[in-house]
Amino acid sequence: MATTVPEPAPSSEHLKPGLSLFDSVTLVAGSMIGSGIFIVSADITRQVGTPAALLMVWLVAGVMTIAGALAYGELAAMMPQAGGQYVYLREAYGGMWAFMFGWTLLLVIQTGTIAAVAVAFARFAGLMWPVLGSNLWIGAGGAGGAGLSGERAGAIVVIAVLTAANLRGLNMGKWLQNSFTTAKILSLCLIVVVGCLIAPNPVAIRANFHSSTAFLGSGSMSIAGAGVFGAAMVGALFSADAWASVTFAAAEVRNPRRDLPLALAFGTGVVIALYILTNVAYLCELPASGNVDAASVVGRGIAHASSDRVAAAAMQVVWGGAGAKVTAILVMISTFGCANGLILTGARVIYAMSRDRVFFAAAGRLNRASVPAVALVMQGIWAAVLTLSGTYSELLDYVIFAQLMFYVLTVSAVFVLRRRLPGALRPYRAWGYPLVPALYVVAASALMVDLLILKPRFTWPGLLIALSGVPIYYWTTARARAIQ
């Protein structure tokens, strides 16, 4: 039987609704678009091998993402509260499951992603400012271990600047989000237009699309092949992740019952369409397969692009050496906006946990700008620690399984709450119910099984990280009852 979470303590402090539909859409799209779309297609291509399979991976991952977002829309309109997904899990399954999600989000998912995209910003900024590529100090673990480098210092500055900006209030945070999301969408449109229409590479066109064998490949799909395809989807799914972040800030949306479902559907739809078109642009500039030892960018192809920087390689075909700098600017815009969206929304989950008395009380207080200042600072400090430790990348790999588990549980909550609360107000009902949410649950569960088989060293640690929140939850709830 699920333990009941104590009711939040009464307070005169309230988050102020200030997000319009446009602001909500930019939170969805801006949080999704980070550095992944510029990089992960190389690894996907190495796994699946053909242009058709590359596009199919992105398409299937995109359909899953949109299906999940459509289901979340019902929950968001039904419970437009700060914390979003945390609240849905609490109402469907009880406080323990909600805390496990919030704990994993704070420990790794949100903070680890903030650290990763901030480092990506600094890494590409190093092409413009070489000092960011220098080693100021490295710990005993070497360049990959704990310590401070120019790159990591740059990442911490990004985290600090964006945290400080969001401490000034919702208006500053949403202005940054709107500006950088608009810029990054235009950046992807630039890649699509240049790659597909203005300057396609005839060599790549012939290699990828000249014959059905080149495009589709000659092998038949087998169980093993399906397993590889599923494993390859991980990069695409997590390049399209963080779309649920807008639900964390639901209490600050002006018309949440209408705008949240629209923002989830429209934001994910636009991003997935851009992702697929961007990969078509890559295929118009670079052969899918290539030779790792090839001297030219075209010869290395998508699969063996230098450091997996597919976008840089594609733009280099068009603009030569200047293409790398153009791409660096695009990635910097993308990662800066992504980090801002994650910082803005993630603190609201910490705030919601505190209001439920399962986390530090100070994290549930708002500053004069009506934002959860302590939660923002705590999140920023931990993200900086992960940056210095150099472990954020490994930790993100580890929580892939846990993240999928929470998605499955949340989409399943639509079924649970339809049965438990049939008369509850539902301004929006999940499109395609019950088929579309059920297919999402089946597909995501199959992917979880696939990862357990093919990548066990990444799945079990992630589950353990999530489970580590269980004893902490029982300790905090017992402490809260003792204080009452």
Q: What average pLDDT does the segment 27-42 reach?
A: 92
Looking at residue 418, its amino acid is R
As a whole number, mean pLDDT of residues 116-129 equals 84
Provide the pLDDT confidence category of residue 333 given band limits of 50, 70 and 90. Answer: very high
Q: How many CB atoms lie within 10 A of CB 142?
A: 10
**Residues 395, 271, 232, 286: is their CA dihedral positive or negative?**
negative
- DSSP letter at 308? G
Residue 10 has pLDDT above 80, yes or no: no
Contact between residue 89 and residue 97 where contact means Cβ atoms under 8 Å apart: yes
Question: Which tens digits make up the pLDDT trace of 413-439?
Answer: 999 999 999 999 999 999 999 999 999
Q: What is the pLDDT of residues 227-256, one digit of tens each?
A: 778 778 888 988 898 899 999 999 999 999
| Higher per-residue pLDDT: 322 or 412 | 412
Predicted confidence at residue 3, as pLDDT, reads 40
Which two three-digit tokens encode residue 328? 């660096």
**E runs forming strands in 377-423:** none
d(CA 239, CA 447): 16
Contacts 24+ apart (CB under 8 A), 184-189: 184/30, 184/33, 184/330, 184/333, 184/334, 184/337, 184/338, 185/29, 185/33, 185/270, 185/274, 187/330, 187/333, 187/334, 188/33, 188/37, 188/274, 188/275, 188/277, 188/278, 189/274
Domains in the chain: boundaries: 21-483
pLDDT of residue 145: 65
pTM here is 0.90
Q: Is the Cβ–Cβ distance between 158 and 340 less than 8 Å? A: no
3-state helix, strand, coil in the chain (%, to 5): 75, 0, 25
CB 483 within 8 A of CB 114: no
CB 110 within 8 A of CB 353: no
Q: What is the pLDDT of residues 142-199, one digit of tens each?
A: 455 667 778 888 999 999 999 999 999 999 999 999 999 999 999 999 999 999 999 9
| Coil, helix or strand at residue 253 | strand
Q: Which CATH superfamily is domain 21-483 in?
A: Amino acid/polyamine transporter I (1.20.1740.10)
Average pLDDT over residues 462-482: 88
pLDDT at res. 213: 65
First to last CA, the chain: 22
Could you give the CA distance from residue 18 to residue 376 in angstroms, rounded to a whole number?
18
CB atoms within 10 A of CB 379: 26
Whether a cis peptide bond, with omega within 30° of 0, leads into 51 is: no
Report d(CA 274, CA 190) in Å as an integer: 11
What distance in Å separates the CA atoms of residue 401 and residue 412, rounded to the nearest whole number?
16
Query: Is residue 6 predicted with pLDDT exceeding 50?
Result: no
User: Which of 19-28, 395-404, 447-456 is predicted most confidently?
Assistant: 19-28
Nearest one of 480, 331, 469, 356 to 405, comparing CA atoms:
469
CA 33 to chain centre: 8
Question: What is the predicted pLDDT for the residue at 143?
Answer: 52
Q: What is the pLDDT of residues 281-313, one digit of tens each?
A: 999 999 998 777 677 888 888 998 888 889 999
Reported as half-sphere exposure (CB side, CA atoms, 13 A), residue 173 has a value of 32
Q: Which residues contact 163 (CB under 8 A, 6 or more apart)?
A: 343, 376, 377, 379, 380
